[in-house]
Structure 1
């Protein structure tokens, strides 16, 4: 389970390694982590991007690899949108994912899925709680008697109301709540908590349960998030909020930290995996996954070094393991393996159809919005994305190429269409053309390039040989300030807009950060 009694951990011999935040670069909001033996398993918010809820694996809390998804092929039958805040738990050989989603025709609910393996397949058990104003951020915990509870937030802030954190008994199958719900605590207006408290993560240490929670505005350019903690000797309270809250605030490198979970390593140290915005890449890269050690004061309360996210830190590496820090930040997809890597994403409402043909990606078009989408998380404010597209394979009015994507109504891209190279933008669902150029005659393949600075200043160019590049917007950057929605970062990837059954053929896709 997520519950961990840190008082009984036994230190083991370790060596220390260094790492630099983020440990999950890119849009990995609301991360959750659990340790099972020598393995760490994590997941994070998907929002409106499928496949839903990545499953990530690590041996040292620093180096992470995406190894699957909770819902890799389709959405849960009962849900339609807003796939937020998954919480991973483990007990008696079974993994549980509590997640938030919008019920079809209804409001936000907390649902649960389970599997005998961290990587799935997961069986969905449907929603556990759906309050009138919405229920989000589910978390499981056992009390001192061993009874199982679900803890969650009532989403009152969506209607200008308070945001109680509730608890209620749950059956052992995790399929239904039982007994009476009870309030743990709620936001205190006029304090740092502002309009909400959310993202509860509870651990037991000695006689106390500690509830790590987030307060105030989570997301977007006006975010004010921080981390607080409350404690009680019983799950039902009374809960005492720490008078030194918030225990984590922003610094010069990271802003709006919050919504994470606690995990203990084999040496007995406690860590917090949570999200924050980088002050440079900010909303464009989204809320990235950070790791910090939790320290415990003589007064029994937890704290973080410098009361803010670490820029660099050290962590024990049991068994002589090493950490390379963040994964290779550059992307190279050559399409030679006959499958897509697990880090590709697409809009939840439109699963793409594609095939592979001798090292080429054949992507079926769609007439909707910006067309069929295959995207990757961006991780920096400055990057260059390139792709190679087969000109001779485009027919019948299809427009296909390289795109920076906020969502399906907001994007900007460079594409091949009807023997022309087109620089286009969609804003609020309205499509416009910024520039056009004739495609090179007699060329089988054309390369397209997007260069981004400061997250939203974008230059587009094309090349017939990968050496000589022809700018399409003549040196004046396209302003993509409008791209990221309030709860997501920008994706960059491939799109194909056109009649159904029409296809675009891509040779490769690369991103240099």
Structure 2
């Protein structure tokens, strides 16, 4: 994530804005005044969450910001991210770090983080075992957990997604969510219903807030509700139209009402955010106040230059409020650079290196939801990762997000520590049925593709006799992949020189590409990795 330092006129950029009061914020912003700007200001560049962080949600508790995002089919589920300034984020844990909720099996989407009376709540979407999509909830006394799952709250026949909690004008607790009727070609209502204080059940009758309107920018759906209370109105930010993949058409709209039960008025100038030359398909975010009179929207969008390959990345933009009471964004589109909320510049986190010298793997490592890998870390002698193999088509996987379309990944494999029959490698992975990689097995290097669970071997060459072998994967434009190997990291031998493998089939509709260490072979056998590097 390349962050740049700029010194700009605060007056030119219009720093003085008015804030809103989020019902779950720890500090009221109605009476707050926007801070007096200095003559110089530091800027940040989007994205603030580089890589695949779809449907981000954020809450402020005191001086701390906590965020989470969609996991989809990558575990561990629902990252917990921490920041002091809204632009520097660190993954500090997960809602479900070790196992899935006992009622759910897939599609772990759209978590919404909230805080009230000493407890953190995560409202999340998941597919019920043998059923459809539901909105569930988990709670903890610390943002980092451990979280206790409270189970599903609502499971409609065609699916229920994107839960959001809000207290009404009387202080009663409600859940707002979307009925996933677009999955069967029908309109998509936003529903509301009372929720008990324990967050274990909905009570009373549900009611409709509004639904998508045919022939408008909303297209086939409205979803991703995020509500704030400002003066006499509740404002509901929402996303409309197609969310994901190369044909996405997402945008951001807003509606308001004086009561949760309506009537709801959609803003006549919707969408209030749409694509530009740098970012496309913006949407599905939440609003957070900094407690000093400024409101921000943390949401996702695709990079227009790299389309779907890094996935939907987390962006931040300030909300301004017009004299008519409606919210707006600068230029009605995602910003490339903007004034940093706390006058601090974000760190460059595009390059990743892991020498496996820490006793525990970093929280940014991921694996398939349906296949939790067994591994250990040897911290002595410079560090080493031991990954147990799996006979599955790709094998066991430990992966990292990519953040741009152009990158180089390298890894060192210890051949002397490689169990017989194990293929240890480095691969670009979309899901368990789609990957492109290179591996070494029984003294032979293979370049391979797994597409729709069918394997094709493109090249085989003898492996060097060195203790270590290094693999390199170079990507251009997200899907043009070149592979090479080296015994020492100095002399590289290409495996498909001049003929890049096409990886456009890799990312599923709702995810970005990961770069993974892979171990395929007899269960219980191991592969040994000395280090892993990913440079953008």
* Contact 1:6 1:206 (C-alpha < 8 Å) held by counterparts: no
Query: Cα gap change, 1:163/1:481 in structure 2, threshold over 3 Å: closer, same or farther?
Result: same
Aligned mate of 1:473, from 496, 511, 523: 496
Look up the SS of the partner of 1:298 in the other structure.
Answer: coil
Query: SS of the residue aligned with 1:181?
Result: strand
Match of 2:47 in 1: 22
Q: 2:60 aligns with which of 12, 19, 35?
A: 35
1:95-129 CA distances to partner (integer Å, 9 max, x unpaired)? 00000000000000000000000000000000000
Q: 2-side partners of 1:243 and 1:498: how far apart?
A: 59
Distance in 2 of aligned mates of 1:412 and 1:274: 30
Q: Measure, in 2, the Cα distance between the counterparts of 1:401 and 1:290.
A: 33
Give the one of 235, 250, 253 matched to 1:228: 253
* 1:393 CA drift (Å): 2.2
Q: Equivalent residues in 2 for 1:113-512 (5 A)?
A: 113-317=138-342, 323-357=344-378, 358=380, 359-441=383-465, 443-512=466-535
Q: Distance in 2 between matches of 1:101 and 1:239?
A: 28
C-alpha distance in structure 1 between counterparts of 2:320 and 2:34, whole Å: 15
**In 1, distance between residues paired with 2:347 and 2:265?**
37
Asked if structure 2 preserves the Cα contact closer than 8 Å seen for 1:398 and 1:418, the reply is yes
- Whether contact under 8 Å (1:251, 1:309) holds in the other structure is yes
State the distance in 1 between where 2:358 and 2:285 align: 35
Q: Any conservation in 2 of the 1:58–1:64 contact (CA below 8 Å)? A: yes
Cα drift, residue 395 of structure 1: 3.2
SS in 2 for 1:8: coil
Shift of 1:187: 0.3
Once the 2 structures are TM-superposed, how far is the Cα of residue 12 of structure 1 from its aligned partner? 4.8
The alignment status of 1:7 with 2:7, answered yes or no, reads no
Quote the offset at 1:2 in angstroms.
5.3
> Structure 1 length normalisation: TM-score?
0.97
Which deviates the most, 403-412 or 14-23?
Answer: 14-23
Q: Secondary structure at the match of 1:284?
A: coil
8 Å CA contact 1:12, 1:266 repeated in 2: no
Following superposition, the deviation at residue 14 of structure 1 comes to 6.8
TM-score, structure 2 normalization? 0.93
Query: By how many angstroms is 1:13 displaced?
Result: 5.9
**Which has the larger displacement, 2-11 or 216-225?**
2-11
Alpha-carbon distance in 2 for matches of 1:286, 1:508: 25
* Structure 1 vs Structure 2 CA RMSD: 1.2
Query: Match of 1:67, SS?
Result: strand
How many corresponding residue pairs?
Answer: 508
CA deviation map 1:272-308 (0-9, x unaligned): 0000000112100000000000011111111111010
Question: Any idea what the Cα deviations from partners look like across 1:319-364, whole Å, max 9, x if unmatched?
Answer: xxx5332542100000011210000000001111001222110000
For 2:317, what is the secondary structure of its paired residue? Answer: strand
**Aligned partners of 2:459, 2:175: CA distance in 1, in Å?**
54
